[in-house]
Structure 1
Amino acid sequence: MKYIVFILFTVMTNAAAQLMLKQGMMSLGPISFEGTNPLLKLLQIVFSPWVFFGLCTFVISMASHLYVLSKVELSFAYPFLSLAYVAVAIFAYFVFREDLNSWRIAGIACICVGTVLIAQSGRGHEEETASLSSDKIHSEIVR
């Protein structure tokens, strides 16, 4: 649980990147590749300010996630990324006026409950790992 700050940073930067990408694509309008060079269109999309900063934020999020993966188990860290769905849904409601109906709220509640259960399982596992490590060290010293 001591790396939870880094996990939550990963989640929030991931969600922020999604919001920036959405803003960027809204500012570009509907995309059509007809009558234009697809490579030039792709470059226009990638280098539009909101999309570019969204992609940069994804890189930061990924770097943070790699750090987290070097410290905790994948089966503990990865499910926390589902909280990005929660953050995106809530921020999209306020920023883009997207619908937040009862089905979405129920889904958000399920994600939150699942994440809490995973966090609880990680706490017990860290204690087991710590006791196993100290037992192993003790047995090495006794030898």
Structure 2
Amino acid sequence: MKSYLLVACSVILGVLGQLFMKKGMTVLGPLGDPSIMTAFAIVFQPWVFGGLVSYGLAMMIWVAVLSRLDLSYAYPLLSSGYVLVAIGSWWMFGDQISATRWAGILVISAGVVLTAKK
């Protein structure tokens, strides 16, 4: 049970990382010419920085998951992140999700359920 909780935490932190970075880039706007200053502005934008921290925590938890579960079992469970990012982006940013995308999300969800059955 603890392993599943670790997987869920890793997935949720990864999803939050994506949503936070999108929020930060929305604040910054479209990127211009790449430069060191642009890189610093991106990394130290508070939302982006929070997303990077979230990703780092997700990675550390994922290492714990890998020490407990078979990779062929655990890795497909990360696909639930695709579903959560789509729902989060719809909720936070008003992203339009077509019926075709919802169908894809359903297929991914079915795959996660099938994978989770040992």
One-letter code aligned to 1:61: A
TM-score for the superposition, normalised by structure 1: 0.80
What pairs with 1:1-143 in structure 2 (closer than 5 Å)?
2-33=2-33, 38-121=35-118
Shift of 1:55: 0.2
Give ranges in structure 2 of 5+ residues lacking alignment: none
Shift of 1:2: 4.6
* CA shift for structure 1 position 111: 0.7
TM-score by length of 2: 0.96
Q: Which runs of 4+ in 1 moved over 6 A?
A: none
Amino acid at match of 2:21: L
Question: How far apart in 1 are the matches of 2:104 and 2:4?
Answer: 23
Distance 1:120 1:2, change over 3 A: farther
C-alpha distance in 1 between matches for 2:38 and 2:117: 47
- Equivalent-residue separation in structure 2 for 1:53 and 1:13 (angstroms): 10
Task: Map Cα deviations across residues 73-121 of structure 1 (whole Å, 9 max, x no partner).
Answer: 0011111111111000001111100012111111111111111111112
Instruction: Work out the CA distance in 1 between the residues paired with 2:58 and 2:101.
Output: 25
The sequence identity of aligned pairs, in percent, is 39
Aligned length in residues: 118
Partner-residue secondary structure (3-state), 1:17: helix
Letter in 2 for 1:20: F
